[in-house]
Amino acid sequence: MISRPGDAVARIIIEAIDLWKEYSIGENTVPVLKGINLTVWEGEFVAIMGPSGAGKSTLMHILGCLDTPTKGRYVLDGEDVSLLDDYRLSKIRNKKLGFVFQAFYLVPWATALENVMLPFLYSDKVPPNAQETAVRALERMGMGDRLHYKPSQLSGGQQQRVAIARALVTNPSLILADEPTGNLDSNSSREVMALFQEMNKEGHTIVLITHDREVAAYASRRVLLRDGRIFDDEVP
């Protein structure tokens, strides 16, 4: 179900207001994000698109509480996170966010199941059904027969399925994916995107970054970033 503006039960997951990110290089200040305004409602599947260097990853790092803006306000699932310190940001990440990256970032010595259980181990309290929940998440990704495989024993597409299971396992408010198909062949890429689409139909809010139109076509809303600004946005 997609909540839309005007809908009485609409819940805003991302509210970014005039976000700026500037880097100091020598004596110069270089703006990379130049006043981003973005609102994402619960249940949306948004693709952030744009050419290389547009600021997509910089924006994703801020939306993912991995970095803070130089200026502006960012409210994530009702909580203003613009000014939080690293410790508090890490708590928010663990509680509210799931990440999927181009390079998978699985722990190489751990099995698929152990990788998917990791977010529970980093949380304050490990739920009693952590293992069962992780098994179910892997089954959901079609990886039920690979629970005890190490990442090196899996194909790229299978590794990304494990990474998606890991992102989903804590039932986060928001799933963020940065070029999740960037290292995959076209078949695996389509399979992975079909899984994201299914997860979205089941109610997960997804923001996905890509420079690939074919990948972006799986989303229900496309936001075009160019030179640090939102150039176009299909607001629902």
Instruction: Give residues in contact with Mg ion (CB under 5 A).
Output: 56-57
Amino acid making up residue 47: A
Decide which of Mg ion, ligand ADP, none touches 204; Cβ closer than 5 to 8 Å per partner kind.
none
Position among 19, 40, 57, 137 found at the interface with ligand ADP (CB under 6 A): 57
Half-sphere exposure of 33 (CA within 13 A, CB side): 26
CA distance 11 to 14: 9
Decide which of Mg ion, ligand ADP, none touches 32; Cβ closer than 5 to 8 Å per partner kind.
ligand ADP
Decide which of Mg ion, ligand ADP, none touches 180; Cβ closer than 5 to 8 Å per partner kind.
none
Token code pair at residue 136? 């179910």
Position among 17, 32, 75, 147 found at the interface with ligand ADP (CB under 6 A): 32
Give the three-class secondary structure for 66.
Answer: coil
Position among 43, 55, 64, 72 found at the interface with ligand ADP (CB under 6 A): 55
Confirm if 234 and 221 have CB atoms less than 8 A apart. Answer: yes
Minimal distance, residue 57 CB to ligand ADP, in Å: 3
Interaction between residue 50 and ligand ADP (CB under 6 A): yes
Minimal distance, residue 22 CB to ligand ADP, in Å: 9
**Toward ligand ADP, which CB reaches closer, 21 or 221?**
21
Position among 56, 140, 146, 221 found at the interface with ligand ADP (CB under 6 A): 56
Q: How does strand 71-76 pair with strand 79-80?
A: antiparallel
Confirm if 214 and 39 have CB atoms less than 8 A apart. Answer: no
Amino acid making up residue 73: R
CA distance 106 to 110: 8
Confirm if 97 and 63 have CB atoms less than 8 A apart. Answer: no
Minimal distance, residue 211 CB to Mg ion, in Å: 8
Task: Please give the residue ranges that form the binding site for ligand ADP (CB under 6 A).
Answer: 23, 32, 50, 52-58
